[in-house]
Amino acid sequence: MKIAVIGGGSTYTPELIEGFARRADVLPFTELVLHDINADRLEVVGGLARRILDRDGLADRLKLTTSRTEAVDGASAVLIQLRIGGQQARMVDETLPGKFGLLGQETTGPGGFAKALRTVPVVLDIADEVVRRAEPDAWIVDFTNPVGIVVRALLDAGHRALGLCNVAIGFQRRLARQFGVEPERVRLDHAGLNHLSWIRGVRVDGVDHLPALLDGPAGEAVAREVDAPIELLRTIRAIPSYYLHYYYCTDQTVHEQRTGNTRAAEVLEIENTLLDMYRDPALNHKPELLEQRGGAYYSEAAAGLVTSLLTDDGAHHYVDLRNDGTIAGLPDEAVVEVPARVGRSGARPEPVAPLPPEMLGLVQAVTAYEVLTIEAARTGSRSVALRALLANPLVRQWDVAVPLLDELLKANEKHLPAFT
């Protein structure tokens, strides 16, 4: 059983390695391959990965390579965790939209659009190599943002893929601590799109605690965590994903971005510090600083999902997959983020109650934007790219979309060969 990680030089990787090490008894992988195009970074991250695995006598199963062909050859599962253009491109995603009075963010709005244009062609190229080189029934698990768009592009191209985000599992763990129970006893009514989802039920042993949570003093802490007014949560009777504050509090967020530091700058500093720490030959575990990088519980979510796909354990996960009627009012071809049972044949979504109008309308608009963004990324069509920006609820305006697209294409020129 071979597992390949494309983008293995990511600072996230040590957490992922710990997740696989903890599951080695139920997920008996014989080879774990880390691939990255940056050989120096791969060596640093891979060194820590080897020391982590060595604690459990698993170091001989780890391989490092800059050859993508070698990485995916014969793999049973391929995890993709890329950032095309690195943190420098992210900096542009977060700052350039501000010139037009728009929100700057790496997965939503115009920044997320630019990231999708850079990312979709690369991931599709990787997926084609997986088809040629990996096992015939190999799974692609995507953690690369924007996850919903990337997964839909993969599925539209006929690939065997699921998407993964840590938002739901993060809330599950947080609420489990609050209620003093094991995480497995907490089930979330989590539904929507990736980075555009709501929790409309928090069931512990079948009893929904969300109404009391929202109306009680603990609701204030939840509201602060998702950066939204408690009155908003109580009005919609749900906990929105943190990313929804970009839609619910757009003007406030744009104002804050004019005067504050970018998240990209913060992450770049954290990454540099982490890489220095990873070079320490005495370090054999993920450092606490990694929690500030983002992606908390990634190891649990990713290792657990791969385990289900390769061992058919039928476990409960929150994944990104085809809608196929799961959320009423969305096309079957849309990619949604919902609870599911996962086995070798893939994910079977659990029933989801219809979204209320204010949620469904936003999800429908963003779904339309995603369709156009994938087409623009694959074809390099300027007209389709403009239509995508017009469909994006955080852009919309023609007199902004035209000059915005010009600057986005210029800033990302070396990563967008389809548009040249």
CB atoms < 10 A from the CB of 254, how many? 18
CA dist., res. 286 & res. 328, Å (int): 42
Q: Compute the half-sphere exposure of residue 171: CA atoms within 13 Å on the CB side of its CA.
A: 27
Which residue(s) pair with 332 in the sheet? none
Catalytic residue among 12, 242, 243, 298: 243
Q: Which stretch of DSSP H or E encloses residue 283?
A: none
Where do we find the tokens 């530091």?
261
| DSSP class per residue in 391-409 | HSTTT--HHHHHHHHHHHH
Q: Which two tokens stand for residue 158?
A: 């006929």
CA distance 357 to 85: 38
Separation in Å, CA 352 to CA 98, 195, 229, 308, 402: 37, 17, 26, 22, 38
Whole-angstrom distance, CA of residue 231 vs CA of residue 238: 11
From the number of C-beta atoms within 10 Å of its C-beta (0-12, 13-18, 19+), residue 243 rates as buried
The 3-state DSSP class for residue 138 equals coil
| SS3 call for 76 | coil
- 172, 79, 134, 56 alpha-carbon torsion, rounded to 10°: -80
| Nearest Cα residue to 274 out of 64, 108, 45, 72 | 45
- From the list 141, 134, 1, the residue with the least C-alpha distance to 74 is 134
Give the closest residue to 63 by CA, choosing from 1, 4, 127, 140: 4
In the structure encoding, which two tokens stand for residue 284, read together? 């054999």
Q: What is the spatial distance between Cα 385 and Cα 377, in angstroms, rounded to a whole number?
A: 8
Token pair for residue 124?
A: 């599709």
Of the candidates 210, 165, 207, 179, the one whose C-alpha atom is nearest the C-alpha of residue 340 is 165
Place of tokens 């749900």: 238
Structure tokens at 310: 């390769």
Tell me the sheet residues that pair with 337: 320
Q: Tell me, yes or no, if 242 is annotated catalytic.
A: no
Catalytic residues: 243
